[in-house]
Amino acid sequence: DVVMTQTPLSLSVTPGQPASISCKSSQSLLHSSGTTYLYWYLQRPGQSPQLLIYEVSNRFSGVPDRFSGSGSGTDFTLRISRVEAEDVGIYYCMQTIQLPLTFGGGTKVEIK
Amino acid sequence: QVQLQESGPGLVKPSETLFLTCAVSGDSIRNDTYYWGWIRQSPGKGLQWIGSVYYRGNTYYNPSLKSRVTILIDTSRTQFSLRLASVTAADTAVYFCARGVSVWGQGTLVTVSS
């Protein structure tokens, strides 16, 4: 299985400040087609995960532009340029290049 | 707008079969662009992909669960289902259904207990 490792486990951020989450995969997520199959989700308290970023850097419909994704191969980052109160929750990365699909362990973001 | 809704018993006895359905609205379950899948979330194991099915029939299961899992599409009811046999306490989790990577249901808690 592809192991997805997220750091840090948790973040406490002042509103308006940036935040950054790392996700590393145990093997490359780059497909021969040129697509890299890495996704980011936010799970707000009591809700199901919602897609933020697909294929490394593409914001899903309705996702604010303060969210951005970057990276390549095995090393990826989710950045929030200015954290807002509604951004609290647990962030997960996920890979779909190889079955079984696997998720990172999650990063909990809290507001100071 | 696509919406998914899980349903099924919240309590299942050990060794019995867990059966959940996912009702799909706002999209055709015959849409082969996406897979229809199940994911679960338990405190001990985080998010775990269970398996996925495409309308045309290809089905993929997590090897760790493959011997116990069946995912089927019911086109007449615009829903798909999850069967997990021989459950134990380790199968206690919130179960989510999903359309591809982008749309998830709200989840349903299933507790395995006698």
Report the pLDDT value the prediction gives residue B77, as an integer from 0 to 100.
80
Interface test with B, best of A29, A36, A48 (most B CBs within 10 A): A48
pLDDT above 90: residue B48: yes
Please tell me the distance from the alpha carbon of residue A35 to that of residue A32, in angstroms, as a whole number: 7
Q: Which residues of A fall within a CB distance of 8 Å from B1? A: none
Please give the residue of chain A at the shortest CA–CA distance from B63.
A100
Q: Which residues of A fall within a CB distance of 8 Å from B103? A: 51
Within 10 A of A88 (CB to CB), how many other CB atoms are there?
Answer: 15
Please tell me the distance from the alpha carbon of residue A105 to that of residue B50, in angstroms, as a whole number: 16
Q: Is B90 helix (H, G, I), strand (E, B) or coil?
A: helix
pLDDT band at B57 (very low <50, low <70, confident <90, very high): confident
Report the pLDDT value the prediction gives residue B76, as an integer from 0 to 100.
83
Report the pLDDT value the prediction gives residue B24, as an integer from 0 to 100.
95
Nearest to A101 among B49, B96, B105 (CB): B49
A96 has a chain B CB within 8 A of its CB: yes
Nearest to B96 among A48, A60, A105 (CB): A48
Phi, psi of B77 (to 5 degrees): -110, 5
How many percent of chain B have pLDDT more than 90? Answer: 85
Report the pLDDT value the prediction gives residue A106, as an integer from 0 to 100.
97
- Which of A54, A37, A50 is CA-nearest to residue A86? A50
pLDDT above 70: residue B44: no
Residue ranges of chain B whose CB lies within 8 Å of a chain A CB: 46-49, 52, 60, 62-64, 96, 101-107
Sign of CA dihedral B91, B97, B100, B102: negative
Please tell me the distance from the alpha carbon of residue B81 to that of residue B89, in angstroms, as a whole number: 21
pLDDT, tens digit, 9 for 90 and up, residues B7-33: 999 999 999 999 999 999 999 899 888
Nearest to A48 among B62, B63, B105 (CB): B105
Q: Within chain A, which residues score under 70 in pLDDT?
A: none
Mean pLDDT taken over chain B: 95
Six token digits for residue A73: 């191969």
